[in-house]
Amino acid sequence: MDFDKYQGIGNDFIIVDAQSDHDVSPEQAAQLCDRRFGIGADGVILVLPPREANHAARMRVLNADGSIPEMCGNGIRCMALHVARTRPAVGAQHQVVYETDAGPRTCAVGLTPDALGADVTVGMGPVRILGDLRLGLTGEPSEWAEVDLLGVDVGNPHAVSLRRPSAAIIDRIGPRLATHEAFPEGANIGFADVKDRSFIDLVVWERGVGLTLACGTGACAAVGAACARGLASWGEPVTVKLPGGQLTIWVTAEGGPARMRGPARHVFSGRVDVGG
Ligand SMILES: N[C@H](CCC[C@H](N)C(=O)O)C(=O)O
């Protein structure tokens, strides 16, 4: 199977032009994403024919554990770059609509001169604030025995802590929170340090993946949470710094549409035996 490897500020994906959702099974996606026994990636993205004629393609995302999320922010930037590079008549226009399992998302790809990278702007759809959660974690040190989170729906489920623990604590409580019974579908857990009204330092423990270098929907969730708490302004651009790089996020209003702008880059093309 032919594939292209892309990364969006270090969140990396195996992108495959496919005809059917079943061209790569969850088990195969997990094998392909393994960084020792496979290609290595945070996820697989299938670029499928659109269901509606005036859309460019349909995106199906598989997390590194094979689970299937509704949406992926860094991934859609990488897919938009892929389509702009491989089918410029379709993907290199100004506003290109892609179908996702969270609904249609519009992308604009600004190809950089070397055409291996691009600055991509994405209409990320509505960011809905779901409300406060206080989750108890038995066996954690007292300051993290209870964690205050804000549930945020970005098409996929997020919960944001506006307190930032140490890396060691994140490694321990991230997976416990991501699979907490409070989240029947699981959740992506963002740990945000709001530096000021236009700058957030963020780390995300992603559902179905673990700690990633960046999370686009997580950046939207963190900005939405900061605005809901009065720590940032609805509609104003916020720079979100993640371990792999930076994104610019606008969230227009509670439940209103968000916009994300950030880089995407082609890493290599390849062919892999997916076996039986
Ligand atoms: N792990 C996420 C999907 C990928 C999201 C992330 N990579 C992004 O850039 O938005 C989930 O299960 O909802």
Can you give the CATH number for the domain in which 9 is found?
3.10.310.10
In a domain, 144, yes or no: yes
- Give the pLDDT confidence score for residue 128 in this predicted structure: 98
Res 264: pLDDT: 96
Residues 101 and 175 both lie in one domain: no
Say if residue 251 is in the same domain as residue 173: yes
Whether residue 96 is found in the same domain as residue 193: no
Q: Give the span between the Cα atoms of 87 and 92, in whole angstroms.
A: 8
Strands (E), 112-225: 117-126, 128-136, 146-153, 157-161, 188-196, 199-206, 210-211
> Is residue 89 exposed (0-12), middle (13-18) or buried (19+ Cβ within 10 Å)?
exposed
- My answer on whether 133 and 246 are in the same domain is yes
Block means of pLDDT (10 residues each) for the chain, 276 residues, are 98 98 98 98 98 97 98 98 92 91 96 78 98 96 95 98 96 98 98 98 98 98 98 98 98 97 97 82
Judge whether 145 lies within some domain.
yes
Residues 140 and 58 in one domain: no
Q: Answer whether residue 114 is part of any domain.
A: no
Task: Collect all residues with Cβ–Cβ distance below 8 Å to 186 and sequence separation of at least 6.
Answer: 67, 157, 178, 179, 207, 208
Q: Is the CB of 217 under 6 A from ligand 1?
A: yes
Q: Which residue has the tokens 């600055």?
A: 119
- What H or E segment, with its residue span, contains residue 75? helix 73-86
Report which of 199, 200, 201, 173 is spatially closest to residue 187, judged by C-alpha positions. 173
| Catalytic-role residue among 107, 215, 220, 227 | 215
Backbone angles phi, psi at 221, to 5 degrees: -65, -40
Domain assignment of residue 200, yes or no: yes
Cβ–Cβ < 8 Å for 83, 57:
yes
Does residue 138 share a domain with residue 93? no
Predicted local confidence at residue 114, as pLDDT: 63
Domain that holds residue 61: 2-109+264-271
Residue 20 in any domain: the answer is yes
Q: 237 and 166 share a domain?
A: yes
CA–CA gap between residue 3 and residue 44 (Å, rounded): 10
Residue 204: count of CB within 10 angstroms of its CB: 31
CA distance 153 to 77: 19
Is residue 92 located within the same domain as residue 16?
A: yes
Please give the number of the atom of ligand 1 that sits closest to the Cα of 186: 12
Residue 73 among known ligand-binding residues: yes
User: Does residue 72 have an active-site annotation?
Assistant: yes
Rounded-to-integer distance, Cα 214 and Cα 204, Å: 7
For 215, list phi and psi in degrees, rounded to 5. Answer: -150, 115
Residues 101, 171 within the same domain: no
Its pTM stands at: 0.97
- Whether the CB of 207 sits within 6 Å of ligand 1: yes
Confirm whether 123 is domain-assigned. no
For residue 34, give both structure tokens: 């393994």
Shared domain for 147 and 81, answered yes or no, is no
Number of domains comprising the chain: 2
- CB 188 less than 6 A from any atom of ligand 1: yes
> Cα–Cα–Cα angle for 83, 37, 274, nearest 5°?
55
Q: What is the per-residue pLDDT for 63?
A: 98
Residue 24 lies in a domain: yes
- With contact defined as beta carbons under 8 Å apart, do 33 and 14 qualify? yes
Are both 158 and 228 inside the same structural domain?
A: yes
- What phi and psi values does residue 73 have, to the nearest 5 degrees? -70, -50
Q: Is residue 21 part of a domain?
A: yes
Instruction: Find the catalytic residue in 72, 107, 220, 227.
Output: 72
Q: Say yes or no: 240 and 159 in one domain.
A: yes
Q: Fill in the DSSP letter of residue 63.
A: E
| Separation of alpha carbons 196 and 133, rounded Å | 24
For residues 47 and 98, give the distance between their C-alpha atoms in angstroms, rounded to a whole number.
10
* Known catalytic membership, residue 33: no
Whether this model's ipTM surpasses 0.95 comes out as: yes
